[in-house]
Chains A and B, each alone.
Chain A
Amino acid sequence: MDNLIEIKDVTKLYIMGLEELYALKGVNVNIAKNEYVAIMGPSGSGKSTLMNIIGCLDTPTAGEYKLNGKNVNEMEDDELAEIRNKEIGFVFQTFNLLPRINALNNVELPLIYSGKSKDERIELAENALINVGLEDRMTHKPNELSGGQRQRVAIARALVNNPSIILADEPTGNLDTKTGDEIMNLFEELWSKGNTIIIVTHEEEIAQNAHRIIKIRDGLIADDYLSEKGKRIAEQNNMIKSTN
């Protein structure tokens, strides 16, 4: 299988004064297209650091990161910006919507940076909001929306530019269980449409929505296995293969 993400011996070092801290201590992981991965681990283990590197928001101190076969380490700042714009859709725990502008304009943002025309932007942003079930909230500002609705806007924004990877760092962390489940259903739907999804979560139930679970401890991969759901899907695939 072709790997969308190839991470080899990646380390991340933070230096604070005299103190050196390795947030990642040599991580190796490959993720294929249309996988649905949950990253788990205790607080401070390096989950967000890894996500930021995958999302090209941050660069590794050492090691190699290839995205779609292209070496990210060697990229200039503008190329990274372009990858974030076109290939990556971010969903954050704290939503990270711009407070002054309405839902539609928030969803429009990635399209502005990819140079789409106003008409095209409006159309795509409206579609994205309709897809997350917010057709009647488009002109609301973030503070006029519930937490779940805000996260939907954020997901619409992450999807609007048709990225190859959705990265969600604790997307349900600020939501109650019911709203969290709704958001997870949305991810399930996205996955079934062919998106690659990586989420960070603390919660076992949330993680069970994914098909593969990667556990991180102390900046190292401690475990990497298929979830119950993942096993079922793998079995189905095998059955299809063997019947062929």
Chain B
Amino acid sequence: MNFFSEIKENIVISYQAINSNKLRSLLATLGIVIGITAVTLMQTAIEGINLAFEKSIAAVGADVLYVQKFEWFGKEDWTFYKNRKELTMEQYDFLNKNSQTATVMAPSTGVTRTVKYQDLALQNVFILGTTYEYQEVSGFNMIEGRYFTQRESQGGYPVCVIGTDISDAFFENTDPIGKTIKLGNFNFTVIGVIEKQGSLLGLFSLDNRVIIPLERFFSLFGDKRGLTYNIKAADINNVEETKEEVRWIMRKARKVPYGQPDDFGVNAQEAFKSTYESLTGLIKIIGTMITGLSLIVGSIGIANIMFVSVKERTKEVGIRKALGARRSTILSQFLIESSMICLMGGFIGLLISFPISLIIDAFVLPTAMPLWIVVLSLFISLMFGILAGFFPAYTAAKMDPVDSLRYE
């Protein structure tokens, strides 16, 4: 008997068997339903968070390094960092002069102030002081006006470019270009609006910013604040090389003695990623353990029902064998039955988790259910079906035809 037609026939037989025992099959597969619901929800949540993370981390720039006083997610004790000195303009100039592998770099610093336009005010706006190179490093576009020029930058002109949050708040019906806004107590002329950039990890809006020439920033807000050096690596595939170069130049600039650890951090998107991944990795491990457990318990339930089903149908097995069914045919009949019960559980699990994932998406966390999650869930159910059905099916296949025919 041909393998595929055997499977086809056995699917029909299993369908009849399940159909005549609907409630029992449904109850048996409950554990699988719960397991698949859990595993699917977990995956959709992780997938959704991943997507959101990728999106919000994009603003950090995969090819941009940030030289700062501290490392992101530093692992040492606080005392290790407390004596560090701020990054200065002199060190920046030294770095800029000596770096070979960086395309472009810009120093920056910031402060938060209330920003006003006529009688409108926005509190806690981030004022970023930087140079004309900053646009190229960050790679953002202007939706209106322009970014400031080298002359405006070096001359410390009172000009500014603003984020979309500010432009929306102040200039809903008017053209922002040429308008004067107040940063703290100082007047600046708006010369451009930056395209919407979103927020960093949903926490820090990049559109609620005003960017002004660094020279101006120093004269108005002081030049004692530490700087960040924003550096664009020449080759996105070789950020590591640039990072190493920057480190060695910075050690020289800051006169770090040989053998001593760095007293600054060269930060990159990478740092976010690895921290994030270790976090989601933990969630994944815990989630997998929980769902694995419920799937195992679920498949024990299925195995149990299958043993009952085989026992009940001892006579049927005898009849089928008397009519010419081989052991392998009987084996596959019961394996297919348990697989179908589990697949049904998996399918119900998906039907339950899909709307739940939409609800979670709407109110709690972003979620996403790509096709591979659906396929994976069904595949897992199938695997557990085969696993759970194996011993019962094997018992049936091995039955002696005469004994099973005599069974009442």
Contacts and interface: CB of A to CB of B under 8 A. Distances in A.
Nearest to B9: A112
A113 B402 contact: no
A161 B322 CA distance: 13
Interface string B1-31: 1100110010000001100100000000000
B319 A78 contact: no
A110 B323 contact: yes
Interface in A102-120: 109-110, 112-115, 117
A110 B324 contact: yes
Contacts of A52: 402
Given A81-B325, A114-B324, A100 B402 contact: no
Given A57-B405, A113-B1, A114-B1, A98 B327 contact: no
A113 B324 contact: yes
B317 to A, nearest CB: 11
Contacts of A85: 323-324
B156 interface: no
A86 B1 CA distance: 12
A78 B324 contact: no
A78 B322 contact: no
A101 B328 CA distance: 22
B401 interface: yes
A55 B319 CA distance: 13
Interface string B318-342: 1111111111110000000000000
B319 A98 contact: yes
A113 B327 contact: no
Nearest to A84: B324
Contacts, number: 66
A110 B325 CA distance: 8
Q: Which of A81, A98, A113 has the most CB of B within 10 A?
A: A81
Contacts of B133: none
Contacts of B321: 57, 81, 84
A110 B321 CA distance: 10
Contacts of A84: 321-324
B2 A98 contact: no
A96 interface: yes
A77 B323 CA distance: 13
A58 B402 contact: yes
A65 interface: no
Given A57-B402, A113-B1, A81 B16 contact: no
Given A98-B319, A101-B16, A113 B2 contact: no
B47 interface: no
A212 interface: no
A81 B324 contact: yes
Contacts of A98: 316, 319
B55 interface: no
A13 B93 CA distance: 102
B196 interface: no
Classify chain B: how many residues form its interface, as a range: 20 to 34
Contact of A100 (B1, B20, B318, B324): B20
A100 B21 CA distance: 11
A55 B401 CA distance: 11
A187 interface: no
**Main secondary structure on B side of the interface with A:** helix
B405 A96 contact: yes
A170 to B, nearest CB: 13
A98 B20 CA distance: 13
A228 interface: no
Contacts of B284: none
A100 B327 CA distance: 22
Contacts of B401: 57-58
A77 B322 contact: no
Contact of A78 (B5, B318, B327): B327
A122 to B, nearest CB: 13
Contact of B326 (A78, A90, A110): A78
A235 interface: no
Contacts of A55: 322
B321 to A, nearest CB: 7
Contacts of B405: 57, 92, 96
Contacts of B323: 84-85, 90, 109-110, 113, 157
B324 A77 contact: no
A90 B405 CA distance: 12
Nearest to A85: B324
A117 to B, nearest CB: 8
B326 A96 contact: no
A96 B319 contact: yes
A78 B316 CA distance: 18
A135 interface: no
A80 to B, nearest CB: 9
Contacts of A110: 323-324
Contacts of A92: 405
23 contacts: A52-B402, A57-B402, A58-B401, A77-B326, A81-B321, A81-B324, A82-B326, A84-B321, A96-B315, A96-B319, A96-B405, A100-B20, A101-B16, A109-B319, A112-B9, A113-B323, A113-B326, A113-B329, A114-B1, A115-B1, A115-B5, A115-B6, A161-B324
**Closest 10 A/B residue pairs (Cβ):** A85-B324, A113-B324, A115-B1, A81-B326, A110-B323, A57-B401, A84-B324, A58-B402, A96-B319, A109-B323
Interface of B: 1-2, 5-6, 9, 16-17, 20, 315-316, 318-329, 401-402, 405
Interface of A: 52, 55, 57-58, 77-78, 81-82, 84-86, 90, 92, 96-98, 100-101, 109-110, 112-115, 117, 157, 161
Given A85-B324, A96-B322, A115-B2, 16 more contacts: A57-B401, A77-B326, A78-B328, A81-B326, A82-B324, A82-B326, A84-B323, A85-B323, A86-B324, A92-B405, A96-B319, A98-B319, A100-B17, A109-B319, A114-B1, A115-B1
